[in-house]
Structures are given as structure tokens and as C-alpha cells.
Amino acid sequence: MRLGIISSFNISASLILLVIQAYALEWSDLQSMSLEDLSQLEVSAADKIPTPLNQTAASIYVIDAQEIRRSGASTLYEVLQLAPNLHIGRQDANQSIVSARGFFEDLSNKLQVLIDGRILYTPLYSTVNWDAQDLLVNDIKQIEIISGPADVSWGANAMNGVINIVTKAADKTASLVDISAGTMQSHAAVRVSRQTSPDSAFRVYGKSVTSEGSELDNEMPAGDDWKRHQAGFRYDKQTLTDSFQLQGGAYQADINSDQVPLNMDGAHVLGSFTEKQQLGQLHLLGYIDYFNRDYENYFEESVTSTYIEARYLLNKYGRHALLLGADYRYAKDNTENLQSYGYIPEDESLRWFSTYIQDHISLTETLDLKLGIRLEDNSYTGLETMPTLRMIWNYQRNQSYWFALSRNVRSPSRSDRDLVLPNNPPYYVIADNDFQSETAQTLQLGWKALIQDNTYLNFTVFYTSYKKLHAAILEDTQYTLVNGLDANTHGVEFWGSMQLLDQWKVKAGATFVDEDFEYRENAGPFLNMNENAPVTQFSVQSQYDLTPSLELDFYYRYVGQLAYSDVPSSDFLDVRLAWWPVSDIELSIKGTNLLSSHQIEYRAVGQNDHYFERNFKLGIRWYP
């Protein structure tokens, strides 16, 4: 009996200690990361191998948990605005456009987006339904944003970049109540985190967001208000040699529009397992994802996707470190062709199978070479080849130069092969069932440096040549979608951070992108918005601690003119003031879009213009 009491006491004490540690870890997210820590921050977006940021041969910007908290963001879209290497804008109150290195258009389809390895793009369009993508932003550990290709790691569609969203393990979060009320948007979220044993933890959350609509050109309401509700969970178990994760979530949303109202819902469940073995490390991942989108009396679609992946990182042998992997994705869609457009056939099943290999070769103590290739077989075009070569020279401990050469692919979507408009003959638009993959070849050169422990800089130049892009041929009164466009883009990316004082950090970034498009014989545009990306954009972010309990932050962003759609250059300013009256409560007030009372961010093809007002919100976060 005495031994049982002692054992129970030891277990209880361990659980209490782990809860305290979880709160301490959550509290550490509230503190500023040093720039040296930033340069050594491990990222996996470049090659699926955790690597210090300053040793990756890729252009990567990382949004960490502390930056998210101090932004005052309550949705994923607001968080992504912090990235200097993304083009981002709102089409209306619920539709967003996100791209990298150009191609800032309605169907932005050259950016791969993942949450904990779960692919978010839809096979119907090869793009992301951003109105359906959100999570509890307080759960995010970091967002790794690659500008530039990463097809070897993530497959086709990672042509111009990757947004890799990584959430915290369940034992790294504490319980939370997060509420805000604003003139444009309000939200409420609750998270409960519990340590279930010394080596396992569990959390659940619920979140609801309500948004007012935008304005039309005449300052009348656009009628595009919306509301979304979602809930999710995550379970983690970790030992000295292996780790297991199980997570899931579901959402439902009602979206109004001056075009067609939309009702949507979705759910997913994901599991992963990692084990350290004698020869290396095994990683397994699998998930099932479902969504349904019902455009009232217009069009309805639902997609169920299943994905499995296995990869093995071999222990370093001599100068070589090999990563071997394979993955399989199956997507079954059901569409209902009602009025304006549809697909032939209405229902389809698609599959993608890939194998890949990467070899990290240490040529010298300071010079590393990375070779990789992915072979991907898809339902439409068969086998696609995506090779890459990357080299990084660690010139000094905190300074490196790198270059990369890659061939990239965007495989066809259902819209490229099966779309018809309207849904009955005679057709105004018809897809080409011989549509081939778009291809690109990209050359990048970069430099990263941590200077005097208080300044971190990243500089990249790039050139990309695209072939067989989406276009159309007009014959009589019918458009046929074809591979009829070639393009070249080149540009410069820069961002950096500086710790001016112990209590003051400043971040800045800029991109310069030039796009040049050339149609092939007889081809022309159809929903193409060529040269619509801003040539220049830059941003400045300031985080200042007025006192240990009072924070003042601002974020300024300039976006150049969107030439194709004739949207003028824009200035955006957000300001946030936060006060910690006690150690576990944060009170805040935030103003967004403070420089304009009637701001357009993006002009969509064939739709009304939408404008956004200044807005303010009050928030409270409580870590009970």
C-alpha cells in the first residue's frame, strides 16, 4: 500500500510538473526570439529534413509564434499578411488571393500549402480555397514560407513556393480563452490542453468567426458577410525513440456574396509516426480530408482525398546523408452541374504516386551539395520528372551563400481537362482533354547572414522560364483551354531583422518581380491576368515593449500597382497596443487599414469591385 501511495504521488507530481512546463513553454512563445536563435531555427520546408535556417539553400521566411501573437491576428489570412515574400490581397470579404513570385490572379495555382503535411489545394482547380482554410492561430508553432520551387520535397504544384504551416505538439500548449470584437470582424476561441501521462498530451479547441462585409464602389454594403465555426483536437505521445501524433478537425461556414451564396463544410483526420532506428529515422504520415461546397442553385462540389507517405532518413555515411520517400494520393470528387458551368464527366477519381530521393553531400567542412529528384505519376499526364541541385557555402559561422537549379511542374487539374461553360451545349468554353503539365526551370542565388548578433539578413535573386502555361484559343464563338503561353520572370527578394534595443525589434522586407508573357500561335488570354503582380512591394514591422507589461506594435505594407487589373498602389498600416495587467491575461486594441477608409486590394475578373474600411477591434487572451 505504501509503495502504491508513493507511486501515485510520483505520477501526480510528474503530471503537475509537466503542466507547469507546458505553461512555461506557452509563455516562452510570448517572449521575443533572439536573432541568433532565428538563424539557427530548424525548418523542414526546403527538403523535409529539419535544418537550421541559415544552412538551407532556399529563400525562406519564417513567421514564428511570437510574431503571430504580437500581430493581433485571429485568422490564417491575417497571419500570412506578415510574410514579405507573398503577394496577398482580398478579392472581397471572404475570398483571398495568395501567390509568390508573380502570377497574382484569380486561380493562383503555383503555390503548395500544407498544414502539418496535409495538402490544402483542390484537384478541381489546383488552387486553395482560402475561405475554407483557418485554424486556431495560437496553435501555430511556425509558418515556413518558401518563395521558389520545392517540387522534390512536396510534389507538383510547388512551382513558385510553399507555405508549410507547423502546429505545436499538444504538450507545448496551455489552455486558452481568446475573444475579440471589432467593427469588421469578431471571434471567440477556447482551447483546453491536458497532460494525459508523463509522455503524452491532448488538446481540443473550438473557434467561431463572424465578419461584416465589404463595400461597393458607391460605398453601399456588398453583402459578402460571412461566419465560420470549427473545432479540432490533437494528441501527441513521445518517447526517447519514437513519436506519434493524431489530429483532426471539422468546420462549417455560411458565406454571403453579391454573386452566389456559398454554404460549405469539411473535416479531416491525420496521423503520423516517427521512429529512430539503428539505420536512421522512419517517418509515416496519412490522412483523410473531405470538403463540400454548395453554391446555391449554381454549382455543388465535394472532394474526398486520401494520402499516405513513408520516408526514411538514413544515418550519415561518410559524406552522404540520404532521404528516401514515397507517397500516394487519391482524390474522388462529385460535382453537380446546375447552371453556369460544370465538368464532363461530373464525377471523377484521380491519383498521384511519387517516389523521391535526396542526397545531402558534405563536400568540405563548409561546402554542401544537395541533389534530389522526384518521379511523380498522375492520372492525366503520366510520369513527370522534377530534379533539383542545390549548393550552400557556409562562408563563416553565421554567413552563407547558396544557389539552386530546379525543374518544376504543375500537373493538370480537372478544370484544365474537363471544364465546360455553360453546363449544356452549345459551349462557350471547353477544356482540352490533352492539356499537358505546365513546366518551369528556375535558377536562384542567395546570401544569408547574422551580423554582430543583432542583425539578420536574407537576399535572393531568381530567374524562371515557364513553358506550356494555361491559355485559350478562340474558334468562332468557343474558347478551348490549351497550353498556349510561355513566360519569364526574374526578381529580387530581401528581408531582415534588427534588434535595435533589448525591448525593440524591427523587421523589413521587399520584393521586386518582373513578368514577361508571350502567347503561342493562335492562343490568347482566358481568365489570365498577366503582369498583375505588383512589381514592387515592401513592409516594415516594429515590436516595441514600452514597459514589461505594455507592448506597442505596428506593421506597414506598401503594394505596387496591379497593372493588368488597374488597381492603384496601396499603403496599409496596422497598429496594436497590448497590456498585461497580470501574467496570464492580455488586453489589446488594434486598428487595421488605418491609412484609407475605402481601399481596394484586388480586382477580380467579371465581378464587382470590393472596398474595405478602417476597422478596429478589442481583444482579450486568458491563459487559465
164/95 Cα distance (integer angstroms): 21
Residue 439 gets the label, from left (phi > 0), alpha (psi -120 to 50) or beta, of beta
Residue ranges of the chain with pLDDT lower than 70? 1-33, 35-36, 38, 339
Q: Which architecture, in CATH terms, is 2-622?
A: Beta Barrel (2.40)
Q: Minimal CA–CA distance to 159: which of 118, 198, 79, 102?
A: 102
pLDDT digits (tens, 9 = 90+) for 211-262: 999 999 999 999 999 999 999 999 999 999 999 999 999 999 999 987 789 9
First to last CA, the chain: 35
588/70 Cα distance (integer angstroms): 10
CB within 8 A of 199, min separation 6: which ones?
A: 237, 238, 239
| pLDDT score at 2 | 36
| pLDDT score at 298 | 84
456/359 Cα distance (integer angstroms): 28
| pLDDT score at 529 | 77
pLDDT digits (tens, 9 = 90+) for 63-103: 999 999 999 999 999 999 999 999 999 999 999 999 999 99
| pLDDT score at 19 | 42
Fill in the amino acid letter for 511: T
Query: Kind of pairing, strands 226-238 and 242-255?
Result: antiparallel
C-alpha cell at 45: 520546408
The domain segmentation of the chain, as residue ranges, is 2-622
CB within 8 A of 236, min separation 6: which ones?
A: 169, 170, 171, 200, 201, 202, 243, 244, 245
Q: Is 400 helix (H, G, I), strand (E, B) or coil?
A: strand
Q: Minimal CA–CA distance to 112: which of 80, 141, 138, 147?
A: 147
pLDDT digits (tens, 9 = 90+) for 151-163: 899 988 899 999 9
CB within 8 A of 204, min separation 6: which ones?
A: 191, 192, 231, 232, 233
Q: Is 611 helix (H, G, I), strand (E, B) or coil?
A: strand
Longest dimension (CA), the chain: 91
pLDDT digits (tens, 9 = 90+) for 295-318: 988 889 999 999 999 999 999 899
DSSP string, 338-394: -SS-EESSSEEEEEEEEEEEEEEEE-SSSEEEEEEEEEEEETTTEEEEEEEEEEEEE
C-alpha cell at 497: 531583422
159/326 Cα distance (integer angstroms): 19
pTM greater than 0.85: yes
